[in-house]
Amino acid sequence: AAAELRRVLKPGGIAVFCEPWGGNPLLRFARSWLPYPGKHRTRDEKPLTHEDVQTLRQAFPNLIITGYQLFGMLRRVHSWLGGLGRIDRLLPGRILNSFGRYVVLRLRND
């Protein structure tokens, strides 16, 4: 898919994707074993992994990855926990990139 994205993007073009992140071991457990609303996926769908990012980085060396929702994802447990999402804004990016619920990928065709 990375090669096809590179082919169809015009020079200087940017593709942006928001994907579930698979780097958090506790979240991997929850996705596999705990029932919660909005969990439905097809069998071949899976959260993005570090290996997937490395594959994309080969085609897009300037890939930018930004993580979101580490504490904010707790609102799925109970709505009053949603306020914890404010903590996410105080965290260094590397923590959210490693343990967040989602990542946004920006791929630029340079």
At 48-97, the pLDDT tens digits run: 999 999 999 999 999 999 988 888 777 766 666 667 777 888 887 888 88
d(CA 42, CA 6) in angstroms, rounded, equals 26
d(CA 76, CA 84): 12
Q: What is the mean pLDDT of residues 25-31?
A: 80
Q: Which has more pLDDT, 73 or 106?
A: 106
Task: Give 38's pLDDT tier (boundaries 50, 70, 90).
Answer: low
Spell out where the chain has E strands. Answer: 14-20, 64-68, 102-108
Taking the alpha carbons at both ends of the chain, their separation in whole angstroms is 17
Cβ 26 vs Cβ 32: under 8 Å: no
User: Identity (one letter) of the amino acid at 22?
Assistant: G
